[in-house]
């Protein structure tokens, strides 16, 4: 896979996560991009702090617990800096 395809897929995945919080498998099915690639793109976006954990819930596809992620800032949880 060349770098142009990676950039296009990364952009597609980022846009898909911005629509609504979703699991990686849900995004894989929606975009047609392999889940292994989505895992790599999520790791890259986490390092850049452009994707974040929204909640833990049941995946609509597998019915098992999974992390829901998003790139949409309106879903970003507020940081609580209080220690006590």
- For 12-64, the pLDDT digits (tens) are 999 999 999 999 999 999 999 999 999 999 999 999 999 999 999 999 999 99
Question: 9: domain CATH number?
Answer: 1.10.10.10
Per DSSP, helices labelled H in 1-84 are: 3-19, 24-31, 35-47
Residue 77's pLDDT band, with cuts at 50, 70 and 90, is confident
Is the pLDDT at 84 greater than 80, yes or no?
A: no
Structural domains in the chain (count): 1
Helix axes of 24-31 and 3-19: crossing angle, nearest 10 degrees: 120
pTM to 2 decimals?
0.85
Residue 36 domain-assigned (yes or no): yes
Element spanning 33, H or E: none
Nearest CA among 10, 16, 21, 8 for reference residue 56: 21
């Amino acid at each position: 896979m060349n770098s142009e395809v990676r950039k296009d897929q990364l952009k597609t995945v980022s846009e898909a996560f911005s629509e609504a919080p979703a699991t990686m498998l849900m995004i894989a099915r929606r975009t047609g991009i392999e889940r292994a690639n989505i895992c790599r793109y999520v790791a890259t976006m986490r390092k850049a702090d452009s994707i974040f954990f929204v909640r833990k819930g049941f995946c609509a596809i597998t019915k098992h617990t999974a992390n829901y992620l998003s790139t949409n800032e309106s879903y970003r949880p507020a940081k609580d800096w209080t220690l006590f």
